[in-house]
Amino acid sequence: MNRIKRRRDAPRTNRRGTRSRRSAYRAPTVRDVSAAADVSVGTVSHVLSNARNVSPETRARVQRAMKRLGYKPNRIAQSLIRRRTMAVGMVIPDVANPFFAELARGAEDVLAGADYALVFGNSDNDAHKERRYIDSFKERQVDGMIVAIASDAESKAILEFAKQTAMVLVDRAFKDWSGDTVLGDNSLGMGLAVNHLVELGHRRIGLVNGDPELSTAKQRRAGFERSLHRHGLEARLIREGRFTLDSGQEQTRDMLALPEPPTAICAANDLLALGALLAAAERNVKVPAELSVVGYDDIAYARLAQPRLTTISQPAYEMGAAAARLLLQRLASPGRRSEHQVVAPRLVVRDSTVGLR
Amino acid sequence: MNRIKRRRDAPRTNRRGTRSRRSAYRAPTVRDVSAAADVSVGTVSHVLSNARNVSPETRARVQRAMKRLGYKPNRIAQSLIRRRTMAVGMVIPDVANPFFAELARGAEDVLAGADYALVFGNSDNDAHKERRYIDSFKERQVDGMIVAIASDAESKAILEFAKQTAMVLVDRAFKDWSGDTVLGDNSLGMGLAVNHLVELGHRRIGLVNGDPELSTAKQRRAGFERSLHRHGLEARLIREGRFTLDSGQEQTRDMLALPEPPTAICAANDLLALGALLAAAERNVKVPAELSVVGYDDIAYARLAQPRLTTISQPAYEMGAAAARLLLQRLASPGRRSEHQVVAPRLVVRDSTVGLR
DNA sequence: CTGAAAGCGCTAACAG
DNA sequence: CTGTTAGCGCTTTCAG
């Protein structure tokens, strides 16, 4: 009893009785509030969480004390005992890619609305980096994660991880994954692009692709090939690289140097398509007159490019928001069946594609 | 003693003696490890943190136990007692703005290298939202924050906050702020733009500006006016709005409808400039032949626009990285003098500006 | 070199 | 309706 008394009276002194020297300021705690309002800590906690009835007068007194002291609950302490951090991790390849920036925005907006904090990691499509972020987030006890997975290189670990904490895959998945997903229909989308080009009379159509280990790249390639075959065409002009502008430029440069260059190019994302435009400009190949180009994603800059880019549109913001909503749902009811949302791609015709004359 | 024994033997049972029903799995704790290795929890903690000497045999035994159990320290518990979360908050207006996406990348890369997690908030340049994120991050006990502040509306609260936790302002600041900063020289930058235009023979130069309460907008406007005056010109053609593409389009549309429209436009960022290009296209005003446009920031898409945008370049990635480094330094030595880094703007001439014939 | 135990700030079971 | 108190998982004295 004496010991406890001492603690309540002098909470700011350490065992030696000296005030801690570093940082004079120390945020008020439940104990400070309870002392100020002359109630027990339990009561303070309860007015905070509304977990049980507290008489109006007591409540008011406590709230006044809180305000006066500028009390804010320490979320870390809450997390420790509640076993919930109210934080979710997100790992995407690169925020500097507008598609993922939008996607992140979508996720953040819904998560913030539910009082979750978003902690971020850019994997650069590197399975190692991705794994490091996931591990780090796990140690930090995030309640869940949203990830645009780089490859299936770490699939074992991911699957293991997902058993322990909520996880939804967005934009990209891997086989063996059976949890929640929000994915585009990449094969269909690429089909749309090919159909458009074929309808315009193109026969020699090339594919400028991203990192071949990514599920999006695989599926877009598959869609490309399938669709060409369906039209009785061969899929020979295929390049792969990374999902970057530079790679797009390089791949296109390469293709345009062919004895029989393509008359049209499908790029697996808009960055690649923009790179293709640059490569064409280098060689003085006119787009769309001499080369049609279609992109994928419909980032904001697609319509600002010259010529305005025909592309396969995907609602990045919505995909992020949907992934976040799915995560929230799973957090609320861990037992529910997993859900697989697929968002439909849409062809947006602008000025970078034109009929073969 | 009996009580303690019980705890060590049955740590996974709650007070009623029933196993918790939810989540069969529970991560191993120091206690589990200590039991498995037959040492005290203190020893386990010490092999983890190397805080004191532990005999090689004991250490090995503990490490084996850790590995066997798959033990990972609980960062939340560590944070609570160490009073460090190894997390930093970042609030920027919008990741979907490539300038800030790059900046965020820069910060994240250096922070991740130092084992800090980055938690994110988009303020949309809304002082309220910004304040909410800052409060939230504070409750979450972040070790520090990097913020591109919206306005001085909440400056009181911000200053108060900064007394308690490390904070560096990036890209934007407010008067009264005397802490660490990484800022561009906006006035100088705008001067560069104006000089360039004047040298090309332009006399009727308009300013398309962003949110007037932002320090960047104020300074860029000031630089614009000062520079024009220095050339003996009046600064009459000034519009303000938001730092978005749409706003740029709108402001420019408005200006071009004037009886005496400008022959050149300074836009306070590239998004605005891109909007200006759109507005010009609408009216069939040729850029640069009939209207020169210069942007600000030099986002990746500036050189992809048509025409390629002349702009004032700022190293967004480096600014983010520098801010993160500053924060790390302050975290390491809280007493150090605050540092004010200013990054030099650079004129990049491309195709959107041309001499008046 | 090691163990015991007191907390970090909070929640929630238990006992009035 | 309110107070007491045992922990959450970890670190860090203090005592051997």
- DSSP secondary structure letters along B226-246: HHHHHTT-----EEE--SSHH
- The total of other beta-carbon atoms located within 10 Å of residue A112's CB is 19
Count the helix, strand and coil residues of chain B and give each as a percent rounded to the nearest 5.
45, 15, 40
A chain contacts of residue B133, beta-carbon cutoff 8 Å: 112
Nucleotide nearest to B72 (CA to C1'): D9
A chain contacts of residue B73, beta-carbon cutoff 8 Å: 139
Tell me the percentage of chain A whose pLDDT exceeds 70.
93
Cβ–Cβ below 8 Å for A121 and B108: yes
Contact flag, residue A39 CB and nucleic strand D, below 7 A: yes
Which two three-digit tokens encode residue B170? Answer: 């990036």
Count the helix, strand and coil residues of chain A and give each as a percent rounded to the nearest 5.
45, 15, 40
Of B96, B108, B115, the CB nearest to A120: B108
Of B75, B122, B138, the CB nearest to A105: B122
Q: How far is A225 from chain B (nearest CA, A)?
A: 30
CA distance B208 to B347: 18
Task: Dump strand ranges (E) for B221-352.
Answer: 238-240, 264-267, 292-297, 310-313, 340-343, 346-348
Chain A 41-70 contacts with nucleic strand D (CB below 7 A) = 41-43, 46, 52-55, 57-59
Residue B24: predicted pLDDT: 52
- Separation of CA A30 and C1' C13 in angstroms? 18
Q: Which residue has the tokens 């994110």?
A: B120
Chain A 27-66 contacts with nucleic strand C (CB below 7 A) = 27, 29-31, 41-42, 44-46, 48-49, 51
- Separation of CA A194 and C1' C9 in angstroms? 61
Residue to substitute from B94, B120, B270, B277, interface A, most A β-carbons within 10 A = B120
pLDDT in tens, B128-165: 999 999 999 999 999 999 999 998 888 998 998 898 89
CA distance A315 to A345: 8
CB A257 within 8 A of CB A280: no
Residue B1: predicted pLDDT: 31
Q: Is the pLDDT of residue B349 over 80?
A: yes
Tell me the percentage of chain A whose pLDDT exceeds 90.
80
Find the helix or strand (DSSP H, E) in which A60 lies: helix A56-69
Q: Is the pLDDT of residue A62 over 80?
A: yes
Nearest chain A residue to B278 by CA distance is A304
| Averaged pLDDT for residues A9-22 | 37
Chain A 317-346 contacts with nucleic strand D (CB below 7 A) = none
CA distance A134 to B62: 25
**CA angle in degrees (0–180, nearest 5) for B2-B4-B5:** 65
User: Reading across the β-sheet that carries B117-122, which strands appear in turn?
Assistant: A340-343, A181-184, A166-170, A144-147, A87-92, A117-122, B117-122, B87-92, B144-147, B166-170, B181-184, B340-343
A319 closest CA partner among A98, A102, A97? A102
Q: How far is A271 from chain B (nearest CA, A)?
A: 10
pLDDT in tens, A161-209: 898 889 999 999 999 999 999 999 999 999 999 999 999 999 999 999 9
Write out which nucleotides of chain C lie closer than 7 A to a protein Cβ.
1-14
B chain contacts of residue A23, beta-carbon cutoff 8 Å: 334
Residue to substitute from B14, B75, B76, interface A, most A β-carbons within 10 A = B76
Q: What's the whole-number average pLDDT of chain A?
A: 91
Cβ–Cβ below 8 Å for A277 and B304: yes
Q: Model-level pTM?
A: 0.91
B90 closest CA partner among B107, B114, B115? B107
Cβ–Cβ below 8 Å for A304 and B141: no
Of A96, A104, A141, the CB nearest to B74: A141
Residue A263: predicted pLDDT: 97
pLDDT in tens, A257-308: 999 999 999 999 999 999 999 999 999 999 999 999 999 999 999 999 989 9
Q: How far apart are the first and last CA of chain B?
A: 95
pLDDT in tens, A115-149: 999 999 999 999 999 999 999 999 899 999 999 99
Q: How far is B79 from chain A (nearest CA, A)?
A: 7
Residue A24: predicted pLDDT: 53
pLDDT in tens, A211-241: 999 999 999 999 999 999 999 999 999 999 9
Q: Is the pLDDT of residue A104 over 80?
A: yes
Cβ–Cβ below 8 Å for B135 and A72: yes
Q: How many DSSP H helices and E strands does chain A contain? A: 13, 12
- Separation of CA A73 and C1' D14 in angstroms? 31
Which two three-digit tokens encode residue B250? Answer: 């709108």
Q: How far is B85 from chain A (nearest CA, A)?
A: 8
Nucleotide nearest to A27 (CA to C1'): C9
Q: How far is A19 from chain B (nearest CA, A)?
A: 16
A177 closest CA partner among A201, A158, A198, A195? A158
Chain A 233-252 contacts with nucleic strand C (CB below 7 A) = none
B269 closest CA partner among B330, B214, B321? B214
| Averaged pLDDT for residues B217-221 | 97
